[in-house]
Amino acid sequence: MPRSYVLDTHACVFMLVSPRKLGPRARTAIEAVHGGRAEAWIPAAVVAEILLLRELGRVQIGLRELRDTMEDVPGLRFLPLDLPQLAEFAALGFLRDPFDRLIVSAARQLAAQLVTRDAAIEDAGVVETVWA
């Protein structure tokens, strides 16, 4: 079974528009996904957050770019929100940001490493992270 990752929102955006902004370990993980040696999941919460950021004018990418990339990279997959993830969400009340809670819930449910540079998530120690 290939190594499995979940992408945080900023990691997904960087992957799509500015891969050089990824940390070294994050870049290696993304390269493994592109090379077919790993898989990476984009949770529904990440897609929703990217769409909100686009509406606010903070990013230029949207659903079309996400779909195109997922079609081009077979190891990159969409992860719908489901009840097991929401059960994890309920247990993570100490993470105040609801998007962070949903994204961490996805990684925990899949037993995957989370590609993130978010210090609050790293400090919580509830999921293994990949970045620097």
Beta strands 38-43 and 129-130 are: unpaired
Domains and CATH numbers, the chain: 3-127 (3.40.50.1010)
What confidence tens digit (pLDDT) does each residue in 56-89 have?
Answer: 999 999 999 999 999 999 999 999 999 999 999 9
**Residues 96, 115, 52, 63, CA torsion sign:** negative
Which residues make beta-bridge pairs with 6?
41, 114
Which of 65, 88, 75, 82 minimizes the C-alpha distance to 7? 75
Stretches where the chain sits below pLDDT 50 are none
Contacts of 1 (CB under 8 A, 6+ apart): none
Residue 73 is predicted with a pLDDT of 97
Residue 1 is predicted with a pLDDT of 66
- C-alpha span between 132 and 98 (Å, rounded): 24
Residue 119 is predicted with a pLDDT of 94
Question: Which regions of the chain does DSSP assign to beta strands (E)?
Answer: 3-7, 38-43, 76-79, 113-115, 129-130
The amino acid present at 50, given as its one-letter code, is I
Taking the model in full, what pTM does it have?
0.96
Is residue 5 within 8 A of residue 115, CB to CB? The reply is yes
What is the number of other CB atoms lying within 10 angstroms of the CB of residue 91? 11
- C-alpha span between 114 and 127 (Å, rounded): 7
